[in-house]
Amino acid sequence: MSLSRTNDPFAQHIDWLTLVLYLGCVTMGWLNVYAAVYSPEDHTSLFDMTTNAGKQMMWIGTTVLLIICILVINHKFFDSFAYVFYAFMILMLLLVLVAGSNINGSRSWFKFGAFSIQPAEFAKVATALALAKYLDVPGMNLGRTKELLRIGGIIVLPCILILASNETGSTLVFASFVIMLYREGLPGWIPALGISVAALFVLALVFPKLYIFAGIVVLYGIIVLLMPRYNRTTRNLLSMAMIGAAMMALVTGVDFFVNNVLQKHQRNRIKVLVDPTIDPLGVGWNVTQAKIAIGSGRLQGKGFLEGTQTKFDFVPEQSTDFIFCTIGEEHGFIGSMIVIALFIGLLSRIVILAEKQRSKFARVYGYCVAGIIFFHVMVNIGMTIGLMPVIGIPLPFFSYGGSSLWSFSILLFIFLRLDSRRTALMRR
């Protein structure tokens, strides 16, 4: 391949569908940030730089510059410097623990004047690149424990540092790499086990332990009865009994975990998820008000800038983590449906593009992008509608905030840059 081809104008090779979906998300996000901070008394301007909406406009502007930079950089750059980025991010995460400013009880921000930057947001990008680089070797077998441990190491290292700065939400995002690993050959039972554990965890919170134990025993009996006779070997029965016992132990452990390991606000968030009616004015305030905001939107919504819940500050964090409430209230079920469809479309498009990549590096990276965005969307929207515990992570492209907009845009456009290289090659 020649130099001239790689320097083809990127406009010809970029995936326009993804770009349109992206622009749709960002524009809707900006308008909803405006709606969330809008005050009917002083007719807040969309471009008022003192409000979140005005600042978001500036963030969008800088993001466009960033995107242009990414698209003109040689695609090799990301491949070659993947580990450098990773190392740099680890350094930043260490630095922020020492020199960062304390915002809302977490020491995870660098402050520059009126603006602050959260390195944890960018750690996702660097980790995705590092993972892509690591997996981009022929013969990589994810069934091997040694490889799994190394990959786990790459993921866990930034996790520990982010956890140390008290950003539990951002740490949990790293679980999303499982999606990529699954695609790359991670045995299916590992994610299945993870989901089962999570399900048991929730069950243990909702129902008394005794019921769950009884349920496990009954389930065991049913499975044994349904098993083909030739499969009912002592070994099989015994290993199944072991699994059952482990489940019971897990359920017993949940109480201990919730009461002794989790911090108080985390414990409360889980309690609220289980029973939203407890303490609606205190612990349950966020969730209750968020549900009222979304629920009161009905089918068509109250109209742009007409939402009383968001406009009058009933929903906390409404331009950042609870931005979906504004959408739900002002644009109703139709608006919510459009947003969810937008995300499902974007995610599916990324997966399809990733699958088309010739280089493994680009494919792995693409699945990482899809996984990270999916996890954010699932948790963020889930918490506003009471299906997930309240975890403070932003809704990609929608939530107000420079770090999150920058990091998600960088994440996505590095992939689009890698992808444009593929189409450029195909055109040849």
Partner 1 sequence: MLENRKWVIIGVFCLVGLTYLARLFYLQVLDDTYSLGASKNSIKRVVEIPYRGQIYDRNNQLIVYNTPVYDLYVTPKQVRIPDTVAFCRMMNITTSEFDSIMGLAKNYSPVKPSLFMRQLSKEDFARIQDALVDYRGFEPVISSMRTYPAHTMANALGYVSEISKKQLEEQDILYYRQGDYVGHNGLEEQYEEQLRGKRGVKFMMQNVRGVNKGSWKNGAFDTLAIAGQNLITGIDVEVQKYADSLMQNKVGAVLAVEPATGEILVSVSAPTYDPNLLSSRFFSKNYRALIKNPYKPLINRPVMASYRPGSTFKLIQALIAQQQGSLYPNTVYGHSGSPMRCHCRGGNNLRGAVQNSCNPYFYHVFRKFLYFNGEHNTFKASAIGLKEWHSMAEKFGIGARLGIDLPSELKGNLPTPEYYDKAYRGALRWKFSNVYSLSIGEGELLISPLKLVNLAATIANRGWYITPHYIKGLNKPGVGVPAEYFERHETGIDYKHFLPVIDGMRAAVSHGTVTPLANIEGIDLCGKTGTSQNNKYGHKFDHSIFIGFAPMNNPKIAVAVFVENAGWGGKAAASVAALVAERYLKRKTEAKKLDEQVKAANYLPPVSRMPVPKKPAAPRKDTVRKTPEAKPLMTATSPKPVAVAAASGH
Interface ranges with partner 1 (CB under 8 A): 39-41, 179, 182-185, 289, 291-299, 308-309, 311-314, 328-329, 332-333, 336-337, 340-341, 343-344, 347-348, 351-352, 354-355, 367, 370, 374, 378, 381-382, 385-387
Q: How far apart are CA 16 and CA 24, in angstroms?
A: 12
User: Are 392 and 103 spatial neighbours (Cβ–Cβ below 8 Å)?
Assistant: no
Closer to partner 1 by CB, 83 or 304: give it.
304
Residues 6+ apart with CB under 8 A from 69: none
Please report how close the Cβ of residue 381 comes to partner 1 at its closest, in angstroms. Answer: 6
Please report how close the Cβ of residue 13 comes to partner 1 at its closest, in angstroms. Answer: 22
In 3-state terms, the chain is what percent helix, strand and coil (to 5)? 70, 5, 25
Please report how close the Cβ of residue 187 comes to partner 1 at its closest, in angstroms. Answer: 12
Closer to partner 1 by CB, 296 or 423: give it.
296
Residue 255: how many CB atoms within 10 A of its CB? 12
Amino acid at 112: F
User: Are 66 and 410 spatial neighbours (Cβ–Cβ below 8 Å)?
Assistant: yes
Please report how close the Cβ of residue 186 comes to partner 1 at its closest, in angstroms. Answer: 9
Closer to partner 1 by CB, 11 or 337: give it.
337
Q: How far apart are CA 407 and CA 45, in angstroms?
A: 27
Closer to partner 1 by CB, 12 or 39: give it.
39
Q: Strand 106-112's sheet: what is its strand order?
A: 101-103, 106-112, 115-117
Closer to partner 1 by CB, 42 or 249: give it.
42
Please report how close the Cβ of residue 371 comes to partner 1 at its closest, in angstroms. Answer: 8
Closer to partner 1 by CB, 297 or 396: give it.
297
Please report how close the Cβ of residue 342 comes to partner 1 at its closest, in angstroms. Answer: 10
Closer to partner 1 by CB, 335 or 402: give it.
335
Q: Give the tokens for residue 193.
A: 């086990």
Q: How far apart are CA 366 and CA 355, in angstroms?
A: 8
Please report how close the Cβ of residue 157 comes to partner 1 at its closest, in angstroms. Answer: 25
Closer to partner 1 by CB, 61 or 295: give it.
295
Tokens 């809302």 correspond to 104
User: Are 55 and 116 spatial neighbours (Cβ–Cβ below 8 Å)?
Assistant: no
Half-sphere exposure of 318 (CA within 13 A, CB side): 30
Amino acid at 147: E
Measuring CA to CA, which residue among 237, 302, 293 is closest to residue 40?
302
Residue 203: how many CB atoms within 10 A of its CB? 16
Please report how close the Cβ of residue 399 comes to partner 1 at its closest, in angstroms. Answer: 17
